[in-house]
Amino acid sequence: MHRGVFIFQDDFAIRPDDVARAAEERGFESIFFIDHTHIPVRRTTPYPLAAELPKDYYHNHDLFVAMSFAAAATKKIKIGSGICLVIERDPMILAKEVASLDALSNGRVLFGIGGGWNREEMEDHGTNFTTRWKLLRERIEAMKAIWRDDEAEYRGELVRFDKIWSWPKPVQKPHPPILLGGHGEKALDRVIRYCDGWMPLAPVDSKIVAGIGELRSRATKAGRDPKTISVTVFGASTDAEKLRAYTEAGVERVLFPLPNAGADQVLPALDKLAKLPS
């Protein structure tokens, strides 16, 4: 089971290139960054993890700028989005960003995606909260066509375009692994339909191991080989028993949180995580 880390790439925290280099030096397999374009001041959507929304959510550097700095500063560590809010991004631009980063990093991108929780944030981008999952699916399907085809086109209900040319194509074939963040039966069905992996959030879902069994069962019934679907646990605990259970369940990687702080706090945290028994 691979071990990685994630961090909010905030403007008051350690730089994305510095933390990625430090994580690579300590042997971590991957580092993930988060995605919020902004947070509306007038917000009624409750934050799902606490009573108050931390300022980390609106002080973060742009996701793909941070990922690019991390990739340029490293050689081996995989660079992930955890998660990219596809429903807030134009699919043609996003397809080019992902493909360019994958090409320039020599195939090190892990493309974590999700539908988001903040209704007001996505509505600022013109996204209808009630149809966000259909929009996400169609944008992903459209992006797959752009990555795959020399003359790509897509005809959906919410995403439509005639044949286009778009290069570069990703180094990873047919594209970087697409990992869906989400929970429940619908999330599992979405993973099976158009993704390469499931990325549950550990602080929200205490039954991940059972969910893995359900995912495999549903995949088999849908005619898909469960072995083609990876599992990445986002926000994993360092508890040895839980890590052992993830390993036994076939989890591909766990991602540990790093403090949203300067190097004086992040580097010792990396050192501590690197010393966890394997």
pTM above threshold 0.85: yes
Beta-strand runs (E) in 21-108: 30-33, 78-85
Looking at residue 49, its pLDDT comes to 82
CA-derived radius of gyration, the chain: 18
Q: pLDDT at residue 248 above 90?
A: yes
Looking at residue 157, its pLDDT comes to 97
Q: What is the pLDDT averaged over residues 150-163?
A: 98
In the chain, count H helices and then E strands: 9, 10
CA 109 → CA 11, 20, 104, 134, 159, distances in Å?
A: 23, 13, 10, 24, 24
Looking at residue 58, its pLDDT comes to 94
Q: What letter would DSSP give residue 46?
A: P
Q: What is the enclosing helix (H) or strand (E) of 245?
A: helix 240-249
Kindly indicate the confidence band of residue 270, based on its pLDDT and cuts at 50, 70 and 90. Answer: very high
207 Cβ contact list (under 8 Å, min separation 6): none
Looking at residue 181, its pLDDT comes to 97
SS3 125: coil
Query: Which tokens go with 49?
Result: 């993890």
